[in-house]
Amino acid sequence: MVLKIELLEIPRHLRSSFCCGKDSLDNYIRKQASQDLKRRISTIFVLRDDPELDVLAYYSLSSYAVDITALDQEFAKRLPRYPQLPATLLGRLAVDHRHKGRGLGELMLVDALKRSFKASEQVASLAVIAEALDESVLDFYINYGFQQFKQNPMKLYLPMKSVEKLCLDLGV
């Protein structure tokens, strides 16, 4: 298996049979992702097993503004009182159901965090924000140190300092 993570290319990457079990995420990569990429709403990175071109997993990244009052007080108290602060949104992350449980979700999450950290050295971002579609996936993010927002527990954040530490600890 030669796994490659690369920016979505249309029509090169094959998305029509992607199925993670969540309709909104399946429809997104099949129908919406190329438009978002073209319009610079999100970047979408896909995983494939070279030389195959089928998408095994994907994630999306965008710029984001986070409301300071939504953050944990311990984290927020060290921040300036600007109403909104810059962040990076990991809007979607999905692994095809035929490949779940093989570490690909972690591979994609770590890749997204590494890319977010690298980008934050050029354009500041204080945290990576993730959105869980339902409660069944919350622990997936919490296990990597993400914390839930007070007002919206389906939204989670990982301070960029923690992202940096995680990347260092994992040697990526």
Give the residues lining the site for ligand COA (CB under 6 A).
20-22, 25, 92-95, 100-106, 131-133, 136-137, 139-140, 143
Q: 98: which 2 tokens?
A: 């035929």
The first and second tokens of residue 81, run together, are 């009182």
Q: Which residue in the block uniquely carries the two structure tokens 């319009």?
A: 39
Least distance in angstroms from the C-beta of 106 to ligand COA: 4
Closer residue to ligand COA in complex, CB, 68/140: 140
When the beta carbons of 76 and 145 are compared against ligand COA, the nearer one is 145
Minimum distance between the CB of residue 98 and ligand COA, rounded to whole angstroms?
A: 11
- Which residues are registered as beta bridge partners of 62? 89
Q: Which is nearer to ligand COA, 22 or 114 (CB)?
A: 22
Q: Measured from the CB atom, is 20 or 128 closer to ligand COA?
A: 20
* Least spacing, CB of residue 141 vs ligand COA, in Å: 8
Q: How far is the CB of 22 from ligand COA (least distance, A)?
A: 5
